[in-house]
Amino acid sequence: MKKYILILSLLITASSINASEYWQKIDFDNIDTTMIEQAITDEVNRIRKKHDLQSLKYSQCLYNAAKTHSNNMVKYGFFGHTNRHDSATMYYYQRIGDECGDYNYIGENCESNYLLNFKGRYYETIRKNGKTYYRNPITKIRYQPHTYRSFAKDVVKQWMDSKGHRENILHWRYRYMAIGIAISKSSIKRGFPKVKITQTFSYGERLVTSEELGESIKKAAERMKEREMKKQ
């Protein structure tokens, strides 16, 4: 019988992207999904560094699991950890286990967000020259697309404002992470692209022994003690 230590919370590719590219506005006719995934990854690791935690490494098998779930959320029109439309990928530990094998410690965050930098609850729809735009009904100012950077910051901020998501992002045991996204084609046509995002975590890329896990916990406790002594 398989045994897992699990962390669940609702809500990377190896980078060759110049960080300055993150500041460009997202072109809805040519959305760079890889850049979105990398921008979110970099923002997560920036937050971890701010909290004296090591950066999370990319894992291809974790990416496969994350991408599969995001694609299914778009395909079947749902949001959450549980995919009730496919028993083979219903639970996140199935998805990660099928791609990566057994893990001692795994987790998942989910998020649904818009590429349009839209704040508030209300908007007006404007159709002009065959395209659809959205604007504030009071100020009449048109909502603009996010930049890759601003979208990543918005996604991670929502995770950090939620206790469970935050615990996953700042968990000291995790060593690997991947971000996989999918975008509804119909929402792109409407000019209001909606993104489903899955973030997967693991302690390692293989099953670790209880001795290894215990040694890791011991070392982490020692590092925490050293940091506390430096603060005194």
pLDDT of residue 193: 94
d(CA 196, CA 182): 5
User: What one-character DSSP code corresponds to residue 125?
Assistant: E
pLDDT of residue 3: 41
Is the pLDDT assigned to residue 7 strictly greater than 50?
A: no
Question: Per-residue pLDDT tens for 142-152?
Answer: 999 999 999 99
Taking the alpha carbons at both ends of the chain, their separation in whole angstroms is 47
Is the pLDDT assigned to residue 49 strictly greater than 90?
A: yes
Question: Per-residue pLDDT tens for 83-132?
Answer: 999 988 899 989 998 888 876 689 999 999 999 998 777 889 888 888 88
Q: Are 86 and 203 a contacting pair, CB within 8 Å?
A: no
pLDDT of residue 132: 83
pLDDT of residue 209: 47
Helix (H, G, I), strand (E, B) or coil at 82: coil
Question: Per-residue pLDDT tens for 175-229?
Answer: 999 999 999 999 988 888 999 999 999 987 654 445 655 666 677 667 767 777 7
Taking all residues of the chain, what is their mean pLDDT, rounded to a whole number?
Answer: 86
Q: Tell me how far apart the 2 most distant CA atoms of the chain are, in Å.
A: 65
pLDDT of residue 226: 77
pLDDT of residue 131: 82
d(CA 143, CA 202): 37
